[in-house]
Amino acid sequence: MSENLKLKLSDLSVRYSTKGQSTLAVSKVNLTVKNGEFVSVVGPSGCGKSTLLKVVSGLLKPSEGQALLDGKEIKDVPESIGMVFQNDALLPWKSVFDNVRLPLAIANKSTQEQEERAKDLIQMVGLEGFEQFYPKQLSGGMRKRVALARAFAHDPSLYLMDEPFGPLDAQTRVTIGEEFIKMWERVGKSVLFITHDIEEAIALSDRVVVMSGRPGTIKAEFKVPLERPRPFYDIRFDSRFKEIQREIWESLADIHKESEVSR
């Protein structure tokens, strides 16, 4: 069973210190992602969702507990992860083409391989003809496609996505989400997806984890009993979708009530 686990966080606590203050961001989190599983984490802003990703990507050290990737403790930045940032983190001074080939250039792949792979990926995300454009010249949705193409170029076995569709408008969000789920269903890699959009989380995931804030702890977990491939938009009208959506809302409402009382 355990070799089937891509990621295992056990009793993980993380302390942050900024401006002379030390705060407990995440407390005793237990979370697993199986191979090929799509897991979303939802919760109010500031509940330490992003902190979890930073630990998994090796950018932040946990103060207690363990983070295991493929059964090995995460010490440095692991080889097999790919991060998709909320703000895209594209290089503004590089063209679409250069941004997409960045992971291949870092891996010292041959120029020919870089060009071929980048061309394929740009085509896959529907940006042919925009290879020489700079990020500034693109819309938010197009920049997101570039960021996704770059993540696919790296071809990690675990995608870490930090509210990747957050800054997009509602329509673009649905389009990009739909395209992303199609691409993901093809590659079938594990995903740890952070969002505050419950519908998005259900539509994308196999499992939804609900976190409460300050310090972040895991409140509840929901299996999404919807078969794949799913229609990313229309699935929202499925009765099972509605049911799980209601349950997640209720669990979040509980968190809200508790925090009101504790104040």
Partner 1 sequence: MSASNSAKVNPSVSDYSDDIAQKQYKGYLRKEKLSTAIGRIIVGIIILGLWEGLSGRLFNEFWLSKPSAIIKRIYELAVSGDLWFHVSFTLQEALIGLAIGMVIGTLAGILLALSGKIDKWLSPYIMALYSLPRVALAPLFVVWFGIGMTSKIIMVIAMVVFVALYNAYEGIKNMDHDLIDMMKTYKAGKMKVLTWVILPSITVWILNSLRLNIGMALIGAVIAELVGSNQGLGYYITYSSSLLDITGVFTGLVLIMIIAVILEQFIIQLEKRLLKHR
Contacts to partner 1 by CB under 8 A: 57-59, 77, 79, 81-83, 85, 87, 89, 91-94, 102-103, 105-107, 126-127, 129-130, 134-136, 138-139, 141-142, 154, 171-172, 174-175, 178, 232-234
Q: How far is CA 198 from CA 53, 180, 195, in A?
A: 18, 17, 8
State the minimum distance, in angstroms, from the CB of residue 1 to partner 1.
Answer: 29
- Of 96 and 255, the one with the shorter C-beta distance to partner 1 is 96
CA–CA separation, 22 vs 208, rounded Å?
Answer: 29
Contacts of 127 (CB under 8 A, 6+ apart): 96, 142, 145, 146, 149
- Of 72 and 136, the one with the shorter C-beta distance to partner 1 is 136
- Of 129 and 259, the one with the shorter C-beta distance to partner 1 is 129
DSSP code per residue over 75-142: -S--TTEEEE-TTTT--TTS-HHHHHHHHHHHTT--HHHHHHHHHHHHHHTT-TT-TT--GGGS-HHH
Q: Which two tokens stand for residue 259?
A: 């925090």
State the minimum distance, in angstroms, from the CB of residue 88 to partner 1.
Answer: 9
Q: Are 12 and 28 in contact (CB under 8 A)?
A: yes
- Of 136 and 263, the one with the shorter C-beta distance to partner 1 is 136
State the minimum distance, in angstroms, from the CB of residue 145 to partner 1.
Answer: 9
State the minimum distance, in angstroms, from the CB of residue 28 to partner 1.
Answer: 25
State the minimum distance, in angstroms, from the CB of residue 147 to partner 1.
Answer: 9
- Of 233 and 249, the one with the shorter C-beta distance to partner 1 is 233
